[in-house]
Chain A
Amino acid sequence: MVETLLLLALNLLLGAGCVFAVLRQTPQDVLTLDGLFLSISCMVLALVFFLNGYWTLRSQELSPLLQRLLPKRKESEEPEAHPVVRKEVPLVLDHGAHSAMGNRLVFTVWFWLVLITLVEVFLAYIKLDVITMLILLLGFSVVKAALIIAYFMHLRFEKRSLVWTLMPAMVVTICLLAVFFPDSFRLLELRP
């Protein structure tokens, strides 16, 4: 109950903040491209927060409170408010195979992650040309990301179909963003 009310207050606050950000703009700013972008983004965010607040208000938990606050329309059609029953759940559900990683493996992965980080910091202080440096740093970062995904995020031990659904789509989409780089080099050449 308290958490839900806090959540509601937070939603209203954030929504009001977004509306405030729009209202703070001077009228001529609103019509520029940046101003329009900011206004639309803020209005959408405000809508999201207010809708969230509205749904929170209508949720099962708050509806008794709301009914007490609001004047009753018709006595007859009022459904009995169902009290929310919180069931206690056991910590371990017995479905699904648990393959908890051994502590030794976890610490080994952590050790390598820290080691690679230190190597990266060391690399930053060696004079290399930018491209080599970028490739080295990004290469190490990809290795670290792969370690985190495979072991900490447990993907190595999930069903392969999950891996094949998530990873290629993500990697391909991220790589597609590189299509913008020729344009940035062109921009550099165009500068006076």
Chain B
Amino acid sequence: MADAHVENRGLQVWGGGTLPYSVSHIKLGMWLFIVSDALTFSALLFGYSYVRIATPDWPTPFHFWPTVVFATLMTAVLLSSSLTMVLAVNAAQRGDRQWTIRWILATAIFGAAFIVLHGWEWMGLMNQGMTLTGNPWGTPLFGATFFGITGMHMFHVFTGVVYLLAIAGGVARKRFHSEHVEVCGLYWHFVDLVWMFVFPLVYLLSVDMGA
């Protein structure tokens, strides 16, 4: 009997019976997606750095008001949305359905606020003549990389808001469990994480120091 027990255990460990990472397939899948998406964003940021180094007339036009203040506010909004997301995951793991939904909705509202603030800031820059193909300050690559990188990030935030709302709906209709909330949180924190690199590289390194 003892041998049978050992054999059984051996099968479980080496025959695929146990989870090697002790996480479920949805979480592992999300982590793999996050790694690949991190490479997408780092390729964009490396491309930006590449053309920036190679271009002598790279403009640094951003003023403290409104661009830097807006960007800082947007950073704070995203960080706070991460905070509410963690609280949502905690509530879900406690089994508190109502507070899970409330915190997820709070996160989605922060995300929507980010999109609104960002769109507002974009409008301001476009009114100053900055577009994908040109700007009044220097090389056209400035506008192209700026809108490319922040646009890609904003698309991720938008997707994240849709994802959050879908998860909130699923939790309300008792289709999803706490792990779905947690995996959604992983995506949301990743979007936050990317902004932590976009903010200094795209905004803070382009501030107008008054020569």
* A residues neighboring B (CB under 8 Å): 3, 86, 88-93, 96, 98, 100-101, 103, 106-107, 110, 113-114, 117-118, 120-121, 123-125, 127, 130, 133-134, 137-138, 140-141, 144-145, 148-149, 152-154, 158-159, 161-162, 165-166, 169-170, 173-174, 177-178, 180-181, 183-185, 187-188, 191
In the complex, A181→B100 CA distance in Å? Answer: 46
Tell me whether A154 and B205 are in contact in the complex, defined as CB-CB below 8 angstroms, given that A96-B22, A185-B53 are known contacts: no
User: Who on chain B is nearest to A163 by CB?
Assistant: B21
What residues of B have a CB within 8 angstroms of the CB of A153 in the complex? 185-186, 189-190, 193
User: Who on chain B is nearest to A180 by CB?
Assistant: B50
Check if B155 is an interface residue, CB within 8 A of chain A.
Answer: no
Q: Are B79 and A166 in contact (CB under 8 A)?
A: no
What residues of B have a CB within 8 angstroms of the CB of A154 in the complex? 182, 186
User: Who on chain A is nearest to B196 by CB?
Assistant: A144
Q: B9 → chain A, closest Cβ, in Å? A: 19
Tell me whether A92 and B46 are in contact in the complex, defined as CB-CB below 8 angstroms, given that A152-B86, A170-B35 are known contacts: no
Tell me whether A141 and B197 are in contact in the complex, defined as CB-CB below 8 angstroms, given that A91-B100, A114-B76, A181-B53 are known contacts: yes
List B residues 108-135 near A (Cβ within 8 Å): none
Q: B78 → chain A, closest Cβ, in Å? A: 10
Q: B195 → chain A, closest Cβ, in Å? A: 10
| Overall SS of chain A's interface | helix
Q: Are B90 and A100 in contact (CB under 8 A)?
A: yes
What residues of B have a CB within 8 angstroms of the CB of A134 in the complex? 205
Q: Which of A141, A145, A153 neighbours the largest number of chain B CB atoms within 10 Å of its CB?
A: A153
- In order of increasing CB-CB distance, the 8 nearest A-B pairs are A124-B204, A187-B54, A137-B200, A88-B174, A162-B21, A184-B53, A92-B95, A184-B54
